[in-house]
Chains A and B, each alone.
Chain A
Amino acid sequence: MAAVEVEDLTVRYGDVLAVDGVSFAAEAGRITAVLGPNGAGKTSTIEVLEGYRPPAGGRTSVIGLHPIADHRTLVRRVGVMLQSGGVGTGVRALEALRHAAALYDEPLDPAELLERVGLTGLERRQWRAMSGGEQRRLTLALALVGRPQVAFLDEPTSGVDPVGRQGIREVVADLRDDGVTVVLTTHDLDEAERLADHVVILDHGRVVAAGSPAELTDSDVAEVRFGAVSGLDVARLAEHLRARVTEVEPGEYLVAARGTPATIAALTAWLAERDVALADLRAGRQRLEDVFLRLVAE
């Protein structure tokens, strides 16, 4: 069942078409990542769903309700994490969370939630004294304190160090276990691949691909990629493998063949004869990054 539906959405800023006919659905209780480079229309899309801006065209619904017309009902059931800011500079962490908790009927316990996002010990720290990562974790907690049914998280890990990012991802993954529908935006491919059940790739305001990370990376393309020292004799290797081989960038090779065990064996044998160390090898399954870069380049 879809908790969030977007149909042929367009968003316009003056003459600029920021979102151009986007459609997708976010399943209830799943994590949907809206992925794309800066300026792809991710935030514009999510802010329509949050009720912040009227679309120029198309239809959207969140748990069957209209983001603007039903705003008063939705604010009790939807948690929003903005892309930046959201808290006054002089507000302390626990104070902000207690204030937010008071706005909901059955909030989570502020102190426990602060611990869950890894801010224990910083209860009295003011916003202005927090690091970027601490601020992101507090805004995540603010989005979750009202026990939302749907959480919209706009770039939840941007500007956060790797450890903090991991902590935020764990909290988001736990939301799925609690049955919360999560729609997050990110330009971090790795994040989408690891965290999301469903990925919608946006570029220039359009959906260029959508599916589970496995579907998106499951390659029909017959190719084997490997990394090794640059300057290998690709003509000889091509002859040996009976497939076209190109050095796509220095030290990065592409073999136009299915990654069958026989092909891989032949490849490694050829390299072994020449005592060439293999830096990495990918066959059959592409990384989301490969898919993404190919789609965005097209």
Chain B
Amino acid sequence: MGPDVKGLLAHLRLELTLLARNGESLLLTLGIPVLLLVFFANVDVLPFDGEPIDFLAPGVLALAVLSTAFTNLAIGVGFEREYGVLKRLGSTPLGRPRLLAAKTLAIAVVEAIQIVVLWPLALVLGWNPSVEPFAALAALVLGTIACAGLGLCLAGSLKALVTLAAANGIYVLLVLLSGMVIPLDELPAAVRAVARALPSGALAEAIRGAVAVGVDVPGRAWIVLAAWAIAAPVAATRLFRWEAES
């Protein structure tokens, strides 16, 4: 194994080890999605047509992507930046391409674990999916890129504690507004229009269209999602500062 791959794997391993060691990360990436899925599937408080789980399961999958690629990434990178971790790594042979590759792979691994946990759980709760694999994968990849780009915009430009607060606050807001657990039809028309323009709203629509019975992904959702998947990383490369202000 060449040193290039060895370094990449070492960094991926450290990323995953730290995530598994960090209670807040586990709560965010697994605890909350599982909790929301089980709670709303059993407690009849949300206004659904038909089986609540058929609405909830795709929404919670989108929420899982949002928590990993946006909130958890932003908080982690924000503190790495503040603690000088990124700065130190900059003087080692790891290099930015392999650092980014390791972080991307870490997100992919976590999302795979989330799907492995949430999917059977949803089936047990009575979910009846109809999967279009290509559309599902495209939604996952585009949504992850858009969310990660936005997360890095925060993490690379704000103080770590501000990033922490903002990433959590925006997360709660997006979960409520994006049609993940509350159907968009229940929201006022103006809010609904905003929600559909959000990356999280488009992600939820795309995933729902890709895995739900009798629903197609609206073309509009693909356009919104793709636009964010381009704009957010471009903004991140402009905004991102590797060193925190001292």
B-binding residues in A (CB < 8 A): 50-52, 72, 75-76, 78, 80, 82, 84-91, 95, 98-100, 102-105, 139, 142, 146
Contacts and interface: CB of A to CB of B under 8 A. Distances in A.
26 contacts: A50-B91, A72-B93, A75-B92, A75-B93, A75-B95, A76-B93, A80-B91, A82-B87, A82-B88, A84-B84, A85-B87, A86-B84, A86-B85, A87-B83, A87-B88, A88-B18, A88-B80, A88-B85, A91-B18, A102-B9, A103-B94, A104-B93, A105-B3, A142-B88, A146-B92, A146-B93
A30 to B, nearest CB: 21
A152 to B, nearest CB: 8
Nearest to B21: A90
B107 to A, nearest CB: 17
Given A52-B243, A99-B10, A104-B3, A78 B91 contact: yes
Interface of B: 3, 6-7, 9-11, 13-14, 17-18, 21-22, 79-80, 83-85, 87-88, 90-95, 243
Contacts of A87: 83, 85, 88
A97 B130 CA distance: 48
Nearest to B94: A103
Nearest to B18: A90
A99 B9 CA distance: 9
- Secondary structure at the A interface, as helix, strand, loop or mixed, is loop
Contacts of B93: 72, 75-76, 103-104, 146
A89 B3 contact: no
A84 B7 CA distance: 24
Contacts of B14: 91, 95, 99
Q: For the complex of A and B, list the 10 residue pairs with the smallest distance between their C-beta atoms, beginning with the closest.
A: A85-B84, A102-B10, A86-B88, A80-B91, A103-B7, A86-B84, A85-B83, A75-B93, A103-B93, A99-B14
Nearest to B92: A103
A139 B92 CA distance: 13
Contacts of B79: 88-89
A78 B90 CA distance: 12
Given A75-B95, A87-B83, A103-B10, 15 more contacts: A51-B91, A52-B87, A82-B84, A82-B87, A85-B84, A85-B85, A85-B88, A86-B84, A86-B88, A87-B85, A88-B79, A89-B83, A95-B17, A103-B93, A105-B3
